[in-house]
Structure 1
Amino acid sequence: MRIAIMKEASIYREVLLSVLSNEFNDYDVITVDPKQQDKLQDDLIDLLIVDIDTAADINSLIKHYIDNNKHVIIWTEDSTHPELTNLFKLDLQGYFYNGMEKEALIKAIKKILLGKQYIHEELAPMLLGEYRQLHNRQQKRPVGVFTRREWEVMELLTQGYSNQRISNQLYITDKTVKNHISSILRKLEVPDRTNAVLTVLRNKWFYVS
C-alpha cells in the first residue's frame, strides 16, 4: 500500500516524509513534485496528500483519484485559498492546515485511513460559510444519537458559543458543559468541536443561518 505526498521540494516535505514513513511502516511513502504529477496517474496510490499552494493544476489529478475511490487530503497554509470552497464541495477525506503538530497529523491520517473525514479548525470559518450556501433549512435529526441536553449543547456549538456562554445559556456548570462536549465528540468519533459542528451540518441535523 502506498501514500504519496505531492509537494514542492523543501525541508518540510522531507520531515513529513520521515514522519509518515516511520509511523506508517506498512505503507510505501513517496514524494512527488507537482510538475511531475503524471507519475501519479495510476491507481497504485491508496492515499494522496496534495499541497494546493502551487501554481500547478491539481484539479484533474484530484478528480482522477476521487473517481477511483482513493483517499485524498488537500494541504494549505492559506485559510482563504481561492480553491478551498470548490475543493470542499468535493467532500474529500482530509483538509489539512500547515503547521499541524506531529501527533495531530498522525491521528488525523489514521482516522482517514479508517474511512473518516478530518477538517482542520483553521479552515472551518470558510468551510462553514460554504455549508450555509450548500444546505437548505431542512433539519433531519436522528433519534437516539444524543440526549436532549447534548442536542441543546450541540445546537449552541453550531452557533459558535464558547463553553462559558453555553454554561450561562443552559444554567449548567462549565464542568458539565465539558462532559457533554466530550460525550458528543465520542459519539461522533471526531477529534474536536470544529469537526463535530461540520459533521452535524453535513448530516443536516442543524442549519446555520
Structure 2
Amino acid sequence: MNLLIIVHNSFDSINNEIIIYLKNKQKVQVVDVDNSNFKSILENYKGVKIWASNCSNFLGDIWEDILQDKSSSLVLTENNSVLKTDKFIAQGVNFIVLPPNQCLYLNTKNHKVLRAAVEILTWSVDKMKIKERSLVALSRKENEVVNLLLQGLDDREIAKQLFISDKTVRNHISNILQKICLRNRTQLVLWALQEMGEIEQLS
C-alpha cells in the first residue's frame, strides 16, 4: 500500500516516530504543504493521504483540500484542541487523535484508509503498552524518583538525594510521564499511589 503523508507546519517527534514505523511497513512519500511542488503532488496522487498537523490554523489552511478527497484521507494529530471534532464528524472526515488524548472517527469504506488507521492505532497501542502502566515498567532510577516525589520532595531535593542534577531529575520525570502516558506530576503521584494501593482507583 502507498501512503502520502502531508506535513503541515508543526510536526513533532511522536508523529515522526509514526512515519518511521509506517515506512517500515508501507511505501511512504512525505511532503510538506510549504513545498513548492505540494499542489502538483497532491493533484497527481491517487492513494491514501494522511494529513499530519498539530497547528491551530490547520483547518483554515488545508480544510478544502481535505474535503475534496475525504474518502481516501485521514487526519492525524496529537493535539485534540486543534480538532474541531464536531466539524470533522459533520463533514465525514476521518481522523485520529494520538495518545494521551486518544480518540478517532472513521467514516469510510475505503479499505486502504482503514488499513492505514489500523497501522497507526497498532503503533499507538504498542506505545501505550508499558506493562499495563505498572511500576515494573519503570527503571530503578525512575522508581527512586517516583518514591521521592511521593515524599513531597521538589526537584532540587530529589537531585540532592540521588546525587544527580536538577535537570536530570526533570528528564527522569518527563520520561516517566511519556512512558505511562500521563500529563503531569499530579497525575503521576495519584497513579503511583493507586499502584501501591494507597488510594482507590479513579474512574
The interval holding the TM-score normalised by the smaller chain is 0.3 to 0.5
TM normalised by structure 2 equals 0.40
TM normalised by structure 1 equals 0.39
